[in-house]
A and B are shown apart, each in its own frame.
Chain A
């Protein structure tokens, strides 16, 4: 057991974690943020994707102790209250969801992509999502949703957050 503190979705969290605990178990079981899914639990499927200090990672293979002092963003951190993130809006409007289990991971990988490459090609989108498996075989709609999110300005690069713009309007 060790005491750690880190930022989760912009809020500080402090608590005891075990050496064998993963970041995924910490955010689901101790923080109650169950939007992040446990699929394969071995770094293959991407359902547990979160953003750690700006980089997408499989939270199932990150030791919880390692996030001391770091920033973690999960699917719950994307919306601003009732206002959904443009990527979330794009997934809804394109119908890029079937059972929904892979969706939080898909959206987090999309966010990591758009924040580093706001206008990706179809090929770049497919490569960026290669570590996220959808067993409903909905990849076509998902890729279309990412293209739409990019068109909507779905990146959160400086000065390009469409939610802030819509708030002002």
Chain B
């Protein structure tokens, strides 16, 4: 890395806000740094300052409130997500998705807040959090607000965060043991790979009948998306080969993939259909 760069280390949000009075567009928020530092080295970012958030204790920690919401501090690392007992018990989908990401070394650094705020269409935590109806907490010197994760992503690399806001927490309603959940990701290898496509599914069944369905796709549209059409179709249906095929087709129609260095738009479309099928089938094998 080269150039003149300032490095700030606030120890609380109260210490952070005065730093954001000026030069906010030229500031990079440093959490795990697994994206920020790589982009900075490649001169893809014009920054004059890093603000290292890792000394702000209020951005850390995982706890369960009385309304059965998991609160996950935005600095929680992927390693913590897949090993923490509260996540494993109450949001197993999130733990499993974190485990599928990158490498041990990256998982030890990368954070949930960073994964979401970078807003890559392929962000692996996004589809699981979308089907879990997660809510993010955003704070600035003006106060705090909560935003459904559905409203967070506004475009590739773009979020609804206003300048001067930071993500402080991700809130996830606890999963019931009867929830059937899975996240499938297709890459060239099983580690260190950015998804060509990712699919998260959550089903609530009553016998053979699907009571509720949530389906989210990653890496096949400008942002991670929920597939309302497929969800509405599945609601009230018996889950069988025909109903799964129709849901997969509706998901494929909803996707709007591009061709890039990883694969083609056509292949991504086929992947959506195949992964949605497989994900629903996998959910149905869960006891």
Spell out A's residues near B (CB within 8 Å). 2, 18-22, 41-44, 46, 49, 55-58, 61-63, 65-66, 109, 112-113, 127-128, 130-132
Contact = CB atoms under 8 A, between A and B. Distances in A.
5 contacts: A43-B38, A56-B105, A56-B108, A61-B34, A131-B192
A76 B194 CA distance: 33
B33 A130 contact: no
Given A112-B104, A130-B191, A130-B192, A20 B38 contact: no
Interface in B1-36: 1-3, 5-7, 9, 30, 33-34
B106 A20 contact: no
A63 B30 contact: yes
Contacts of B1: 20-22
B105 to A, nearest CB: 5
B105 A19 contact: no
A43 B191 contact: no
Contacts of A55: 79, 108
Nearest to A113: B104
Contacts, number: 76
Contacts of B52: 63, 65-66
B261 to A, nearest CB: 14
B5 A19 contact: yes
A43 B42 CA distance: 12
Contact of A46 (B42, B50, B79, B103): B103
A20 B102 CA distance: 24
A113 B79 CA distance: 13
Given A22-B37, A42-B41, A63-B52, A57 B108 contact: yes
Contact of B2 (A2, A20, A49, A57): A20
A66 B37 contact: no
Nearest to B103: A131
A59 B109 CA distance: 11
Interface string B149-184: 000000000000000000000000000000000000
A30 to B, nearest CB: 15
A49 B41 CA distance: 18
Which secondary structure characterizes the binding site on chain A?
A: mixed
Interface in B94-114: 102-106, 108-109
B54 interface: yes
Q: For A109, A130, A132, which residue has the most chain B Cβ atoms within 10 angstroms?
A: A130
Contact of A58 (B2, B5, B106): B106
Nearest to B193: A130
Contacts of B34: 43, 61
Contact of B192 (A44, A49, A63, A65): A44
A63 B2 CA distance: 12
A8 B206 CA distance: 58
Q: For B9, B41, B52, which residue has the most chain A Cβ atoms within 10 angstroms?
A: B41
Nearest to B191: A130
B88 interface: no
B109 A61 contact: yes
B190 interface: yes
Nearest to B83: A116
Contact of A61 (B2, B9, B38, B192): B38
Nearest to B54: A66
Contacts of A65: 7, 9, 52
A61 B30 CA distance: 11
A41 to B, nearest CB: 7
Contact of B105 (A18, A20, A57, A127): A57
B105 A63 contact: no
B105 A109 contact: yes
B276 to A, nearest CB: 26
Contact of B33 (A56, A63, A109, A132): A63
Q: For B1, B33, B102, which residue has the most chain A Cβ atoms within 10 angstroms?
A: B1
